[in-house]
């Protein structure tokens, strides 16, 4: 099964992706996670991407498309994958179409998680992330068992640099201008899910679509 998760930053793509990927045993491909890993390891991609990420702008398409090509060539993608945070521009969607055609595969489901801006700012400003294993928590909606400690690996949780309010506002603007046009681009293939519901309810709605 091949799935794309669309939606604004903070709508819950990463949270739902974890659950769906476990359920269907497919890899979770998050361009944000791959980029953060590159920054952490100090790679060339990481050093080129960092300033864009810190300001909440998009990393140039050519870097992202190269990353996706490399990721698709790995063995675990053979039985499917879930894309989270990619594509994010029309140019990326066109590059993805070309790549899929070349690989003679297609996307089965495109799911858009819809959440209004007020909720997004509230969610992201309370998001806590684990820089060791990538797990995501929330001070209000998904508290870790032990304060500021990752349930999965025991590492200390932190707030991402780009999860500060001024950067969040820029990310929302970038989303409206550069990513929201994908909803038109994919048009009838998109299945909408109400992302204002609880994490469990959103999962239920997504699983109904995927079954």
What is the set of active-site residues? 13, 88, 127, 160, 171
Q: Tell me the pairing of strands 127-130 and 136-138.
A: antiparallel
Restricted to residues 126-155, the positions that interact with ligand ADP (CB under 6 A) are 127, 136-138, 141-142
Site string for ligand ADP, 43-62 (x = CB under 6 A): ---------xx--xxxx---
CB of 188 to Zn ion, least distance (A): 39
The partner in contact with residue 130, picked from ligand ADP, Zn ion, none with C-beta cut-offs of 5 to 8 angstroms by kind, is Zn ion
Q: Please measure the distance between the N-terminal and C-terminal CA atoms of the chain and give it in whole angstroms.
A: 11
Of 106, 93, 148, nearest to 126 by C-alpha is 148
Burial 140-162 (b: 16+ CB within 10 A, else e): eebebeeeeebeeeeeebeebeb
In the complex, minimum distance from the CB of residue 98 to ligand ADP, in angstroms, rounded to a whole number? 16
Residue 58 DSSP class: P
Backbone torsion region of residue 148, taken as left when φ is above 0, otherwise alpha when ψ lies between -120 and 50, otherwise beta? left
For 83, the enclosing helix (H) or strand (E) is strand 81-84
- Least distance from C-beta 210 to ligand ADP, angstroms? 17
- Residue 140 binds Zn ion, judged by CB under 5 A: no
| Integer Cα distance of 40 and 199 in angstroms | 29
- Interaction pattern, residues 1-30, with ligand ADP; x per rule: CB under 6 A: ------x-xxxxxxx---------------
Report the interface residues with Zn ion, using CB under 5 A.
Answer: 130, 132-133, 135, 150, 152-153, 155
Report the interface residues with ligand ADP, using CB under 6 A.
Answer: 7, 9-15, 31-32, 35, 52-53, 56-59, 64, 85-86, 88, 92, 123-124, 127, 136-138, 141-142, 162, 171, 198-199, 202
């Amino acid at each position: 099964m091949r799935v794309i998760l669309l939606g604004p930053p903070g709508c819950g793509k990463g949270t739902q992706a974890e659950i769906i990927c476990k359920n269907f045993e497919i890899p979770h491909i998050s361009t944000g996670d791959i980029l953060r890993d590159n920054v952490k390891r100090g790679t060339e991609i990481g050093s080129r991407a960092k300033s864009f990420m810190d300001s909440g702008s998009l990393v140039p398409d050519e870097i992202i498309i190269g990353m996706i090509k490399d990721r698709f060539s790995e063995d675990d993608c053979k039985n499917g994958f879930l894309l989270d945070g990619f594509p994010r521009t029309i140019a990326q969607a066109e590059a993805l179409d070309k790549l899929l055609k070349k690989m003679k595969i297609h996307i089965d489901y495109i799911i858009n998680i819809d959440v209004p801006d007020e909720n997004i700012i509230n969610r992201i400003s309370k998001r806590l992330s684990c820089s060791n294993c990538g797990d995501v928590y929330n001070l209000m909606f998904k508290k870790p068992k032990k304060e500021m400690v990752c349930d999965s690996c025991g590492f200390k949780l932190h707030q991402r640099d780009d999860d500060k309010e001024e950067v969040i506002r820029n990310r929302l603007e970038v989303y409206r201008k550069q990513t929201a046009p994908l909803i038109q681009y994919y048009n009838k293939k998109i299945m909408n899910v109400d992302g204002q519901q609880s994490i469990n309810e959103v999962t239920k709605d997504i699983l109904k679509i995927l079954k």
